[in-house]
């Protein structure tokens, strides 16, 4: 073999991301206890179902330890970055649904499809960029659906703008009730309620809200990127982006917000999905994240317990100083027993 003739694939530019193109080259990942331990150290995971194997066996059925949903979605996001190695920013996520709860030992494989794109208006003194919407589907080793969601990334143009127009669907439609109920049906909420102190679904009123006391410093960002196969240069190389320092990727910020949600609702069974997550400003290593959580609505399940449609609005105190800044508006669906 002539090694000189082999060229490594370069990360695509905006022009390379034609609608209908698929990316499936990211390595599959078998989730292990090592992944779980490092993710917990970086994100502060406190979800009982992922920490207590005896509880997981009671609620999910006998088997290996449950994987934390944030580890699952962070891995899928990381696998999808084969399409967005040159990302400038991630603007939003839409319609993330966890069809099932993976267990440690499951192997996740992700395929990413380009579904929409448009060029941004060129601003003086800035490089030309465009927005690309990706649909991300993750399955396990038995080809069972695990995740399905969309995200919107901003990427630079390689060449001069060509005036590409398109509808990227910035509005957010809520997840449909039926797949959420189907996912929740796999949980034995009676067993959870019997084994875990509340507050449970009946104890959390409509309109409940909570300001989490104490923030979380964002650290270990490159480690989490590497753990989840995230190859976006902006998260690993301070010289590759527009800010002169590494960006923390959106999944990391959301994982910290999820950990804060379990401090506010310590009996939260799991998170089934996201209606939407909007990143309004960048997050950097050393920032301190704080969040305010509210119940937008409650939805009782036929067998007891229910879904809580939650909203976390997160702000960051910059390590470099200055005013606090809103960085995340996350609307998601949790389960209480």
User: How far is residue 148's CA from residue 135's CA, in Å, rounded to a whole number?
Assistant: 7
Q: What is the mean pLDDT of the chain?
A: 94
Q: Given this model, what pLDDT does residue 322 score?
A: 87
Q: Given this model, what pLDDT does residue 319 score?
A: 86
Q: Given this model, what pLDDT does residue 320 score?
A: 82
User: Rounded to two decimals, what is the model's pTM?
Assistant: 0.95
Q: DSSP code of 62?
A: S
**Contact call for residues 327 and 314 (beta carbons, < 8 A):** yes
Least confident of 77-81, 85-89, 321-325: 321-325
Alpha helix (H) ranges present in the chain? Answer: 33-43, 48-51, 53-60, 69-80, 177-184, 189-195, 221-227, 250-264
- pLDDT tens per residue, range 196-246: 999 999 999 999 999 999 999 999 999 999 999 999 999 999 888 777 889
pLDDT over threshold 60, residue 267:
yes
Beta strands in 140-268 (DSSP E): 145-156, 209-211, 216-217
Q: Given this model, what pLDDT does residue 7 score?
A: 53
- pLDDT tens per residue, range 102-131: 999 999 999 999 999 999 998 887 889 999
DSSP per-residue string spanning 124-169: TTS--EEEEEEEEEEE-TT--EEEEEEEEEEEE-SSS---------
pLDDT over threshold 70, residue 58:
yes
Which architecture characterizes domain 10-158+173-336 according to CATH? Roll (3.10)
214: left (phi over 0), alpha (psi -120 to 50) or beta: left
pLDDT over threshold 90, residue 87:
yes
Q: Given this model, what pLDDT does residue 123 score?
A: 85
User: How far is residue 108's CA from residue 28's CA, in Å, rounded to a whole number?
Assistant: 6
- pLDDT tens per residue, range 153-175: 999 999 999 888 988 888 778 99
Confidence of residue 184 (pLDDT cuts 50, 70, 90): very high
Domain boundaries, the chain: 10-158+173-336
Which of 66, 322, 34 lies closest to 192 in space, CA to CA?
66
What tokens appear for 141 in the block?
A: 């080793």
Decide which of 61 and 7 is more confident: 61
User: How far is residue 97's CA from residue 79's CA, in Å, rounded to a whole number?
Assistant: 17
Q: Tell me what percent of the residues of the chain surpass a pLDDT of 90.
A: 88
**Contact call for residues 59 and 269 (beta carbons, < 8 A):** yes
């Amino acid at each position: 073999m002539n090694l000189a003739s082999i060229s490594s694939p370069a990360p695509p530019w905006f022009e390379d991301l034609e609608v209908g193109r698929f990316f499936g080259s990211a390595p599959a990942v078998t989730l292990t206890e090592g992944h779980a331990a490092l993710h917990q150290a970086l994100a502060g995971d406190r979800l009982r179902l992922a920490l207590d194997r005896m509880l997981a066996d009671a609620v999910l059925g006998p088997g290996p330890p449950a994987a934390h949903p944030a580890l699952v979605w962070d891995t899928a996001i990381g696998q999808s970055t084969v399409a967005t190695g040159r990302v400038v920013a991630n603007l939003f996520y839409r319609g993330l649904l966890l069809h099932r709860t993976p267990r440690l030992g499951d192997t996740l494989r992700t395929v990413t499809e380009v579904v929409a794109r448009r060029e941004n208006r060129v601003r003086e003194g800035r490089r030309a960029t465009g927005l690309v919407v990706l649909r991300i589907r993750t399955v396990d080793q038995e080809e069972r659906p695990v995740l399905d969601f969309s995200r919107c990334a901003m990427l630079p143009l390689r060449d001069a703008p060509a005036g590409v127009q398109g509808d990227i669907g910035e509005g957010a439609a809520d997840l449909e009730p039926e797949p959420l109920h189907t996912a929740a049906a796999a949980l034995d909420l009676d067993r959870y309620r019997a084994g875990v102190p509340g507050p449970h679904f009946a104890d959390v009123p409509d309109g409940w809200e909570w300001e989490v006391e104490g923030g979380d410093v964002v650290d270990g960002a490159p480690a989490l990127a590497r753990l989840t196969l995230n190859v976006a240069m902006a998260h690993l190389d301070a010289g590759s982006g527009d800010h002169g320092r590494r960006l923390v990727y959106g999944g990391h910020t959301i994982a910290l917000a999820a950990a804060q949600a379990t401090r506010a609702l310590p009996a939260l069974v799991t998170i089934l999905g996201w209606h939407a997550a909007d990143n309004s400003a960048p997050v950097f290593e050393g920032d301190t994240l704080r969040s305010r959580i509210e119940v937008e609505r409650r939805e009782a399940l036929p067998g007891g317990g229910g879904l809580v449609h939650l909203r976390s609005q997160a702000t960051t105190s910059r390590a470099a100083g200055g005013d606090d800044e809103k960085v995340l508006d996350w609307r998601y669906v949790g389960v209480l027993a």
